[in-house]
């Protein structure tokens, strides 16, 4: 998976949790970015920040080749996370309070929902959208919070 | 695998009675299903060669609930024995044959108690038993790693590590780090719609180099399991020979015929069939019956690929899908094409072309060889009652979130691709008929 060590998980979780709690701010973004940089050194991972006109991408590349990309809006709120790599990330941490809703959306019918057409895991609510997929030994996905997405930004912009 | 089965709800009721007439119990030798509605060819004789196993697609294990019949699922029969024993053995039918995963994974309760008690767990450096979490795309399986003497057709592996899914005791609780990837836990025959999975994909082990470091979480996670339960992720060696650590590809672990497989299945008419029989031949270029005769050979990505192992590049309507694959464990073609008519109601998720449409994807290997993978897309609503096998079904993997565009790199060719073909799958790192694996050829 996009291997996040516990501390990295926690930091991203903190950022997302703050975001989800509705009390984000630039200070949180600064803290997140600095902490991720510290983890970058510890994990021997590479980190890049790329600024777009509508948002900023923070990309952590992990030793196993996996990536986690966080996207922040002009207010410093993490509004989307995209992952890809040779394992599944800790979505319980990445999605925070939304994880249970995501899980329920995919297992709430004793597995029949997903077996029905074997489509990858999804959440399609108004507060949270998740799509995920993959193949043997490689998994990807995108989670986003529609309410926080900068105007004009589409999922395809979040590469 | 990308599964389990894809049975649309509208077919479930139709198939209820069929499932009741399915195969013998999970602990008895395989007795291929003889569904009543549609006469179809079934295996007429056990192949004589020691390297050939029968393959059948039918309604699945007899113990499946009647509304949960298997669909487009290839099954084989295997035997496991307590290490060194020739009497404490069990033949397990309806084992899902999966080229989209690696390793043998048996639903725990399928194994009879006397045998299970005699199957030793793998032990770690701390002297504790080992468990594994294995991630499929939409689900995960957790359970102990045990060792058994394994046999399929005439091929054997002594002391082979396999996963006992849904095991009890110290293995009863799923670690948070296993379930946090999301999806459903697969722990029962009903969950899996099979008694076990036989993963014979293109890699030698189920995790490879990634799991040789405890910090490199991957699609497989191995755990230290003291009596208090499993929590700590541990490193496990990738090896296809004893003493094993990771689950090996059982084919790679054979003493002979260990460089790949050849799956041969007949074509299936548009109307589908109640059952389908074919063969799985072990080895490529190792015996008189397994020469590399395919017209086209496409090399695959290896475990070292940053996209994952076993991949081809598909080209479809001018678009490139660099993370495409062949997978017997997928029941349909998985691809996104919003220009096609989508099904609604009970078959939502499938494509519902008003009339059959020929689609013409091509497949390109790393060796730059390109082959046609054209197929005719059919409407699942046209299938009759009693059908357990059907060609040409397509699924949009993003139907509920089509804006997300997370699957725009991948075109999955499921079991319908194999209908009417002989497909060679060569394992990574070994010569197979004069060409090193991994490759597929057909």
ipTM: 0.84
Q: What is the mean pLDDT of chain A?
A: 67
Contact B137 A135 (CB under 8 A): yes
**Roughly how many angstroms between the first and final C-alpha of chain A, as a whole number?**
18
Name the residue among A107, A119, A136 with its Cβ closest to that of B397.
A119
Give me the percent of chain A exceeding a pLDDT of 90.
Answer: 6
- Banded pLDDT at B267 (limits 50, 70, 90): very high
Residues in CB range of B88: below 8 A, 6 or more apart: B81, B82, B114, B115, B118
In which band, very low, low, confident or very high, does the pLDDT at B4 lie, cut at 50, 70 and 90? very low
- Say what the pLDDT of residue B48 is: 57
In this complex, which of B325, B350, B412 lies closest to A117 when CB atoms are compared? B350
pLDDT of B41 > 60? The answer is: no
Mean pLDDT, chain B, integer: 88
Residues 6+ apart with CB under 8 A from A23: none
Most trustworthy range by pLDDT among A137-146, B6-15, B365-374 = B365-374
Contact A131 B210 (CB under 8 A): no
Q: Which residues of B touch A132 (CB under 8 A)?
A: 137, 182, 406
Is B426 or A9 the better-scoring residue by pLDDT? B426
Each residue of B102-141: pLDDT tens digit? 999 999 999 999 999 999 999 999 999 999 999 988 889 9
Per-residue pLDDT reduced to its tens digit, B218-264: 899 999 999 999 999 999 999 999 999 999 999 999 999 999 999 99
Find all residues with CB under 8 Å of A59, minimum gap 6, and list them: A47, A48, A49, A50, A67, A68, A69
For residue B399, the model assigns a pLDDT of 63
Arithmetic mean of pLDDT, B15-28 = 30
From chain B, the residues in CB contact with A86 under 8 A are 210, 218-219, 308
Smallest CA–CA distance, residue B188 to chain A, in Å, is 11
d(CA A129, CA B62): 39
> With contact defined as beta carbons under 8 Å apart, do B379 and B353 qualify?
yes
Which pair of tokens denotes residue B278? 């074919």
- Probe site for chain A from B217, B322, B411 (most A CB atoms < 10 A): B217
Task: Count chain A–chain B contacts defined by CB atoms under 8 A.
Answer: 199
| CA-based radius of gyration for chain B | 20
pLDDT higher for A156 or B123? Answer: B123
Interatomic CA distance for residues A34 and B174, integer angstroms: 34
d(CA B100, CA A137): 9
**B183 vs B22, higher pLDDT:** B183
Band of residue A94 on the pLDDT scale cut at 50, 70, 90: confident
CB contacts, 8 Å: A118 with chain B: 2-6, 137-138, 330-332, 334, 395, 397
Q: Which residues pair with B332 in a beta bridge?
A: none
Q: Which range among A35-44, B218-227, B388-397, B415-424 shows the weakest confidence by mean pLDDT? A: A35-44
Nearest CB to A141; choose among B323, B348, B406 = B406
Alpha-carbon distances, residue A86 vs B137, B200, B232 (angstroms)? 11, 18, 19
pTM of the model: 0.85
> Could you tell me which residue, B217 or B438, shows the higher pLDDT?
B438
């Amino acid at each position: 998976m996009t291997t996040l060590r516990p501390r990295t998980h926690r930091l991203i979780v903190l950022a997302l949790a703050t975001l989800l709690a509705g009390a984000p701010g630039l200070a949180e973004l600064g803290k997140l970015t600095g902490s991720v940089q510290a983890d970058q050194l510890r994990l021997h991972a590479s980190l890049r920040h790329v600024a777009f006109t509508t948002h900023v991408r923070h990309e952590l590349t992990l030793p196993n080749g996996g990536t986690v990309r966080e996207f922040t809006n002009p207010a410093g709120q993490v509004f989307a996370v995209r992952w890809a790599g040779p394992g599944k990330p800790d979505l319980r941490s990445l999605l925070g309070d939304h994880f249970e809703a995501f899980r329920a959306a995919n297992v709430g019918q004793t597995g029949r929902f997903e077996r029905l057409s074997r489509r990858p895991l999804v959440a399609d609510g108004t507060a949270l959208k998740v799509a995920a997929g993959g193949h043997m030994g490689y998994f990807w996905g995108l989670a986003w919070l529609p309410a926080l997405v900068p105007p004009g930004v589409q999922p395809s912009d979040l590469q | 695998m990308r599964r389990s089965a894809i049975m649309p709800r509208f077919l479930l009721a139709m198939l209820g009675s069929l499932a009741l007439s399915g195969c013998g119990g999970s602990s008895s030798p395989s007795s291929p299903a003889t569904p009543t509605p549609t006469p179809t060819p079934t295996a007429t004789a056990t192949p004589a060669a020691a390297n050939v196993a029968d393959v059948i697609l039918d309604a699945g294990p007899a113990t499946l609930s009647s509304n949960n019949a298997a669909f487009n699922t290839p099954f084989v029969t295997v035997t496991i024995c307590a290490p060194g024993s020739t009497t404490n053995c069990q033949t397990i039918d309806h084992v899902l044959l999966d080229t989209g995963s690696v390793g043998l994974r048996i639903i725990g309760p399928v194994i009879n108690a006397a045998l299970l008690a005699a199957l030793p767990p793998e032990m770690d450096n701390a002297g504790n038993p080992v468990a594994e979490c294995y991630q499929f795309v939409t689900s995960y399986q957790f359970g102990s790693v045990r060792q058994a003497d394994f046999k399929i057709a005439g091929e054997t592996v002594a002391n082979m590590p396999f996963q006992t899914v849904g095991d009890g005791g110290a293995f009863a609780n799923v670690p948070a780090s296993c379930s946090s990837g999301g999806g459903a836990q697969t722990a029962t025959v009903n969950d899996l719609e099979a008694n076990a999975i036989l993963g014979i994909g293109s890699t030698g082990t189920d995790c490879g180099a990634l799991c040789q470091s405890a910090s490199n979480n991957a699609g497989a996670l191995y755990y230290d399991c003291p009596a208090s339960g499993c929590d700590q992720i541990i490193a496990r060696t990738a090896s296809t020979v004893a003493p094993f650590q990771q689950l090996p590809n059982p084919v790679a672990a054979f003493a002979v015929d260990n460089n790949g497989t050849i799956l041969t299945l007949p074509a299936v008419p548009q109307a589908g069939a109640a059952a389908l029989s074919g063969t799985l031949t072990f080895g490529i270029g190792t015996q008189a019956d397994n020469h590399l005769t395919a017209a086209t050979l496409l090399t695959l990505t290896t475990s070292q690929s940053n996209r994952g192992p076993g991949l081809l590049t598909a080209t479809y309507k001018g678009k490139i899908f660099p993370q495409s694959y062949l997978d017997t464990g997928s029941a349909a073609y998985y691809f996104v094409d919003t220009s096609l008519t989508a099904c609604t109601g009970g078959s939502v998720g499938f494509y519902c072309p008003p009339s059959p449409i020929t689609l013409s994807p091509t497949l390109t290997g790393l060796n730059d060889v390109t082959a046609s993978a054209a197929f005719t897309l059919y409407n699942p609503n046209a299938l009759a009652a009693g059908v357990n096998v059907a060609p040409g079904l397509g699924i949009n993997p993003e139907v509920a979130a089509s804006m997300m565009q997370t699957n725009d790199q991948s075109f999955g060719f499921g079991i319908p691709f194999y209908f009417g073909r002989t497909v060679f799958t060569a394992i990574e790192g070994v010569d197979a008929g004069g060409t090193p694996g991994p490759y597929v050829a057909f």
